[in-house]
Amino acid sequence: MTAAAWAAAAVVVVAGALVAARRQLLVVTVAGPSMEPTLPSGSRLLVLRTRRLRTGRIVVLHPVAGQRDLGGDLIVKRVAALAGDPVPDSVLAVVGGHAGDLVPAGRVVVIGDHPWASADSRHWGFAAVTDVVGVMAGRLA
């Protein structure tokens, strides 16, 4: 194989990898103080497009119905409880639940790290897992 053929093959491989990465990765900028002090407003996040969630992970999701007027297309929150986990006490009243209730299938509880500056499950209840765009893979800036 000639050097030109190797170079052409390398270009094809790199281009394919870039296309695959573009489909799996997203860069999101945090807007607002809801995730402070962990993520100040303006922080740029690398997000892996997946719905494989774990409690404590930071996720990016579409705002729940009725909250789309918050500004922006996506919100950043932390997973507090997954389907089958007990509903956190701070969310029980909003969802009309009782102590010991579990998060229903297909739902997730998300909260901001700055409770006094975050519209989250403590205000609007469960979010749908299908609204999750992905999980934070790292912080860029």
- Whether residue 89 contacts residue 114, with contact meaning beta carbons closer than 8 Å, is answered with no
Q: Give alpha helix (H) positions in the chain.
A: 3-24, 89-95, 121-124
Instruction: Specify the pLDDT at position 72.
Output: 61
Of the candidate CATH numbers 3.30.1240.10, 3.40.50.920, 3.40.640.10, 2.10.109.10, the domain formed by 26-139 belongs to 2.10.109.10
How far from the centroid of its chain's Cα atoms is residue 79's Cα? Answer: 8
Condensed to tens digits (0 to 9), the pLDDT of residues 71-95 reads 568 999 999 999 999 999 999 999 9
What's this model's pTM, rounded to 2 decimal places? Answer: 0.81
Phi/psi of residue 35, nearest 5 degrees: -110, 10
